[in-house]
Structure 1
């Protein structure tokens, strides 16, 4: 692996990214549903069952599970009932492959590159689940936080002290915003999962990156909300998940550094 040329490394990274993206597309569909189940039989069916068409319940053969290419070959339809297959699957696979290639391109096959790739994979899962369910699971955000602290014990993206303070201040900042908003309006403006996600991002990039991450998240969420209202695709009172925008701030910091502004 260490003797691969850059072109070979990027091709390998793209293939690996598609495979991991296929896993993430399955994980992000099953995990929230598993968390909501109470019956053991349903739990086993969703958690360990093979991939099926959600419409006709037909098991998918292996050649229908090749990341991205199977969806393209079937023209986005089930081979049995011809029901349209959600584009979420190829989108997640393509995004994962793109981010994996970007991590290897920028950092190479180094400790930084491996850490950045793991960071991106977990963040994709958080992004998708929060976007679809407005839910940030501890199963994902807490491992992301601990990985940030562990990697930065070796000074990869921040010093150990900056990482620890980043985690603590990241959580506290949104905790204060949450309670101030609730005190003044009587409403809850965000969930505790957002606190933990910002804490995780602080653990990865240090407290110095937190203002930048929050600014990027706030600006992009406001812009998207305004565009949605202008195009009449969303109502002003419709809740909007904040986690995906924090994730955008995290990726911007990963690739452009903590001092963009």
Structure 2
């Protein structure tokens, strides 16, 4: 009787791809069968399906509604994709505005595995070699995120300044581990003045010059055509802050994520694209 391990890679990829579409967690566990299974799942199942859409999608595609996020990562890291997802139903009913109010570690502390009473369970997720760190946040036919803009808007008494960083993303694209690390860096957030953040997939900033002049980030108004464009393999991490955050104190006995060392920090770059004025004229550096 033929065994699953005896099948050629071409057939094995089809079987594991189907399994990944209906039960991603079991597919990830299947990596433990052998080095061959681990290689096929990581290189073919988790990434090749995503890469296939790059050739079929373009920046001018119409009706594009954004990338599909990895369902397993959404379940385990929901608050990191959109910080408001970390709030409970009771808090949603009680508060008019769902703001972190400066408590930037709250979405981390409320992750399902971080809040678990089992220390060993939490430590398993925090291992540097944990499999989730290598997974792409996108899934299925969505391409990996190869370009990430960090757009920051701070509300203050003067002019509501904005800031921008581009993250240096290694091949083959943004991993969940890199996104986790980015959110632990002071460059990406406003520290105790942070109010919220959201990962906007399938979008890319067109001009930092226009963004800087307007003094705010607009994704769903008439200014979208000048500020934001659709791009399947890109994303924007939008961070908002306010100087009026109350800077909540954290219980020193409660678990908080460990800050990164200098050598393990992601690389943040300044604006790399062209400048575009209000008339649509493009100005290169």
* TM-score, normalised by the number of residues in structure 1: 0.27
Structure with higher RCO (Cα < 8 A, 6+ apart): 2
Return the structure number with greater strand share: 2
Return the structure number with greater helix share: 1
* TM-score, normalised by the number of residues in structure 2: 0.25
